[in-house]
Structures are given as structure tokens and as C-alpha cells.
């Protein structure tokens, strides 16, 4: 699993930080749901060509790692990672609205 190594700690706009935190929450929920239904997740990834062959063990480890990283990031809402800024900008460019619960 690739983990972002570029960390940006600046005085970001509070609304932007809130939206990035919302994205973290959404990504965490999705990863937890995928892990909960690992068999279905693996089947869908293979069917979409995103996984060459089914490997539940590797997929489980990858999802567990992703969940761990996201929980760590959520514990530091004032720190933003380059991959999160990239995702945030992509969503803004595509007029995707980011809403919390």
C-alpha cells in the first residue's frame, strides 16, 4: 500500500479542513464496509479488472492498513496530506459537493 509522505501543515481555511475531514470520514466508512464484506469486495474488484486475481488475504491487509492510516489522519485534523489536497481539488473541479453527516 502506498502511503503519502508529503505532509502539509499550514493555516488552512477552516471550511477546507472540515471538508477534508468529511472526505476522511467517507473514505473510512467505505473501507470499513469493504472489509466487512470482503468476499463481495474481492468479487467486484476482479469483475471490474481492478484486481488480476482474487487474493482475500492481501485485500484484507490493504483495507486494514488504509483504515489505520485514515484513523491516524482523523486524529490530526490540522494536518493535511498532499494526496488529500489532490482529491479535494479533483472533487472541486468536478463540482462534487462534500457534505458531512
Q: What is the pLDDT of residues 39-81, one digit of tens each?
A: 999 999 999 999 988 999 999 999 999 999 999 999 988 888 8
In percent, how much of the chain has pLDDT > 90? 50
Distances (CA, A) of 99 to 15, 18, 20, 49: 11, 9, 10, 30
Where do the structural domains in the chain lie, given as residue ranges? 14-92
Spatial distance between the Cα atoms of 25 and 76, rounded to a whole number of angstroms: 13
* CA distance linking residue 59 with residue 57, whole number of Å: 5
pLDDT of residue 1: 44
Amino acid at each position: 500500500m502506498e502511503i503519502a509522505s508529503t505532509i502539509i501543515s499550514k493555516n488552512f481555511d477552516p471550511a477546507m479542513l472540515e471538508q477534508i475531514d468529511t472526505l476522511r470520514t467517507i473514505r473510512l466508512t467505505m473501507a470499513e464496509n469493504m472489509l466487512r464484506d470482503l468476499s463481495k469486495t474481492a468479487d467486484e474488484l476482479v469483475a471490474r479488472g481492478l484486481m488480476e486475481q482474487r487474493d482475500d488475504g492481501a485485500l484484507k491487509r490493504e483495507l486494514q492498513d488504509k483504515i489505520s492510516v485514515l484513523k491516524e489522519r482523523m486524529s490530526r485534523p490540522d494536518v493535511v496530506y498532499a494526496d488529500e489536497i489532490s482529491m479535494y481539488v479533483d472533487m472541486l473541479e468536478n463540482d462534487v459537493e462534500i457534505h458531512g453527516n
